[in-house]
Chain A
Amino acid sequence: MSHSTVPRSRSEAKTPEKTPAAPGGEKQPGRSGKLRFGLRFRRDRTLLLMTVPAVLLVLVFNYIPILGNVVAFQDYDPYLSENGFVAILESPWIGFEQFERIFADAAFWHAVQNTFVFFFLQLVLYFPIPILLALLINSVVRPRVRAIAQAVMYLPHFFSWVLVVTVFMQIFGGAGIIAQTLRQHGYEGFDLMTNPELFKYLVTFETIWKDAGWGIIVFLAALSSVSNDLYEAAAMDGAGRWRRMWHITLPALRPVIALLLVLRVGDALTVGFEQFLLQRQAVGVDASDVLDTYVWWNGIRNQDFSYAAAAGLIKGVVGLALVLTANKVAHLMGEQGVYKK
């Protein structure tokens, strides 16, 4: 049927209540008003239809796998059936046995420890840099200089981790430009890319190189919303450059900083899966194993699906708890957090 058969009711029903009713028409209920379900369905069915593909994809690839986590409580055997998902129904249930195995595994605790070390280093070394860079860029007034600096700094964010790691190899690797120059001048070469002790600083540096420039974007947005009148009034009252920054600029950034901290802490168990997987061979398992790579190794490589799913489930549940806790803390501190109360 064509839409023109019911244009009036449709259009006016969609008008928000605050706008005046169409000329000559009596006041119509707003879209959120008390229309009957059937009527609302008929009116909005096109909109609903439009959401179907995305919702289907999310249900299939995000929700069904959540159900698939039941293999963590099984001794899952993919060969019990033609189809791996049907095999779940036929695998024996063993309760928390997989979790007991995991908690008894020293490698698991080592991966947990590594995860927290990397997270902590990122928090201390990486987190402040976009803030400082944003303050710096914000103080650059020449439009062309500013645009070029931003273009350059945003660029590495769009590189793949494969590219970032191989680029770092060309600088710090055994055949990299530094080792090459050292050797040509009679010194011994060096190879940072295969050094397990320094690996944690290397990955933090890689993260800074890739994403610190991109990170300034949210801070710049917050800075551009600060009214210039505030600065002028403060200057009139005799506040110098640094006092204006301390009393106006930084408070303007506070909510953004709090939000990003909450997000980061909530996501603490995810420290850069691809980065560690790519460099696993070069520096060894001891230095590079984190929770995500532990799951990958046991599940995909060793095909011990139930065991790996249990480890992944631990990560998911603790991660969820971290997000909720971080949000709670943000709310208590009077900040907004990821979602509203």
Chain B
Amino acid sequence: MSAVLDERADDRPRVKKPSPWAAPPRPVWEEEPSKAGLAGKGLVLGIACFAILFPLWIVIVTSLQSKKTIDEAGGLVVIPKGITFVAYQELLGGGQVQKAALVSVGVTVVGTLFSMTVSVLCAYGLSRSGSLGHRWILMTLLATMFFGAGLIPTYLLVQALGLMDTYLALILPSAVSVFNILVLRAFFMNISQELIDSARIDGAGDWRILWKIVLPLSRAVLAVIALFYAVGYWSAWFNASIYLTDQEMMPLQNVMIQLVQMQERPVGLQTQINTGQLSPIAIQMAVMVLALLPVAVLSPFVQRHFKKGMLTGAVKG
């Protein structure tokens, strides 16, 4: 069966695709680059990538080592010897870090959905040129980019609204990013007016046009903005540090400050550390990996859309 398929494939006319590793043909007017120039460029790029990846390598590798290897290396491990997931088993098997990770995931998912809904609706509502009042609303939003209210009044407001010690305090005050709304709006404005008009003639209202036409055409920018919001919620720790007083409620970043930066012992999982099977250093590194993993996995997928998302960010009247 497979042989037949292979033969079929061989019969097809082949267009040779250039390897993505190879340099495309150079225009005739351009000089060949010098060997030294190429080497220099490679070196600088190499150093830049190394400076970013090497620290991450150490953190990830050390989190996967046994107590013995870590003790032999005198702390951090550069060259791994075997792999053990004991630190992760311990962290995710209950206790403080597991709870914090779940809190972070929950706040990030709920917050991102909420922010995206609010922002997309607002961006579409402002994207149809000449609609009533859109200029005023836009100015109201834009003004906030020039003058921040300040930490203290915001804090007093959150307190007065009764949001202290609730997860709403981690979502509502930072739910809307005017910049993100502007990017979405610029993207929606570029969608062909004829397409929208023809849908309207067929009887579609604004809700249906947004859902059936605008959103499917805007997947790229939606992915970028959702990533921005999600990263914002995932990385946030300051609001939790001032609006939450209950240590049990803290999200992952705040627990990371306690465990890794302040070198405190994690609550609820001291069995293995005390019995000497698990290095506290591995635990610290594993907490860091938990914090960086979702971001490191997601952002490269969205990468090819970044430029588009940033480019359309220009403010249009």
**Which residue of the partner chain A has the closest CB to B156?**
A84
Asked if A47 meets B128 with Cβ closer than 8 Å, knowing A53-B118, A62-B144, A153-B48, the reply is: yes
Of A3, A62, A162, A273, which is within 8 A of B256 by CB? Answer: A162
User: Is A329 among interface residues, defined by CB-CB distance under 8 A?
Assistant: no
Cα-based distance from A179 to B173 in the complex (angstroms): 41
- Chain B residues whose C-beta falls within 8 Å of the C-beta of A101 in the assembled complex: none
B156 touches A85 (CB 8 A): yes
Given A3-B203, A166-B260, A180–B197 Cβ distance below 8 Å? no
Does B93 lie at the interface of the complex (its beta carbon under 8 Å from any beta carbon of A)?
A: no
Q: Does residue B87 face the partner (Cβ distance < 8 Å to A)? A: no
Partner of A54, one of B122, B238, B285: B122
In whole angstroms, what is the CA distance A143 to B303 when docked?
14
Q: Could you say which of B155, B178, B311 contacts A299, with CB atoms under 8 Å apart?
A: B155
Known contacts being A47-B128, A55-B141, A217-B310, is A14 close to B197, with CB within 8 Å? yes
Q: Does B76 contact A145, Cβ atoms closer than 8 Å?
A: no
Q: How far is the CA of A183 from the CA of B160 in the complex (A)?
A: 53
Residues in A with CB closer than 8 Å to B261 are: 162, 165-166, 169, 278
Encode A200-234 as 1/0 by CB contact (under 8 A) with B.
00000000010001000110110010001001100
Q: Mark A48-66, 1 if CB is under 8 A from B, else 0.
A: 1111011101111111111
Contact of A57 among B19, B53, B176, B291 (CB under 8 A): B176
> From residue 160 to 179 of chain A, which have CB atoms closer than 8 A to chain B?
160-163, 165-171, 175-177
A341 near B: Cβ within 8 Å?
no
Contact B200 A14 (CB under 8 A): yes
For residue B153, give the distance in angstroms from its CB to the closest CB of chain A: 3
Complex interface: chain A residues within 8 A of B31 (CB): 240-241
Which residues of chain A are near B196, meaning CB under 8 Å? Answer: 14
- B128 near A14 (CB under 8 angstroms)? yes
- List the B side residues contacting A61 at CB < 8 Å: 154, 157, 172-173, 175-176
Q: Among B3-11, B95-103, B132-140, B270-278, which stretch is in contact with chain A?
A: B132-140
Partner of B150, one of A69, A183, A274, A281: A69
Tell whether B268 is near chain A: CB-to-CB under 8 Å.
no
State whether the Cβ of A117 lies closer than 8 Å to any Cβ in chain B.
no
Q: Which residues of A contact B79 (CB under 8 A)?
A: none
B206 within 8 Å of A by Cβ?
yes
Contact between A170 and B55, CB atoms less than 8 A apart: yes
Residues in A with CB closer than 8 Å to B15 are none
Interface extent on A, as a size class? Answer: 35 or more
Q: Which of A230-254 contact B (CB under 8 A)?
A: 231-232, 235-236, 240-241
Contact check, A47 vs B41: say whether CB atoms are below 8 A apart: no
Q: Mark B156-199, 1 if CB is under 8 A from A, else 0.
A: 11011000000000001101101001000000000001101100
Bound-complex Cα distance A72 to B298 (A): 43
- Quick check: A57 and B132 within 8 Å, CB to CB? no
Chain B's nearest CB lies how many Å from the CB of A283? 13
Q: Which residues of chain A come closer than 8 Å to B124, judged between CB atoms?
A: 47, 50
Q: Which residues on A sit within 8 Å (CB–CB) of B178?
A: 58
> Please, which residues of chain A bring their CB within 8 A of the CB of B256?
162-163, 166
> Are the CB atoms of A163 and B292 closer together than 8 Å?
yes
Contact: A50 with B122, CB < 8 Å?
Answer: yes
B134 touching A277, Cβ below 8 Å: no
Of A15, A64, A133, the residue contacting B157 (CB under 8 A) is A64
Q: How far is the CB of B120 from chain A (nearest CB, A)?
A: 9
User: Would A170 and B59 be within 8 Å (CB), given that A142-B21, A217-B307, A241-B31 are in contact?
Assistant: yes
Tell whether, in the assembled complex, residue B131 and residue A299 are in contact, meaning their CB atoms are under 8 Å apart.
no
Given contacts A54-B176, A55-B141, A166-B260, contact A65 B149 (CB under 8 A): yes
Interface centre among A47, A153, A281 (most CB of B within 10 A): A47
A284: interface (CB < 8 Å): no
- Tell me the bound Cα distance from A180 to B74 in angstroms: 7
Most buried by A among B55, B178, B205, B238: B55
Instruction: Give the 4 A-B CB pairs with smallest separation, nearest first.
Output: A68-B153, A31-B130, A160-B235, A65-B149
- 9 additional A-B pairs beyond A153-B52, A305-B156, beta carbons within 8 Å, are A14-B200, A47-B124, A47-B131, A58-B141, A88-B156, A145-B45, A241-B31, A274-B237, A312-B153
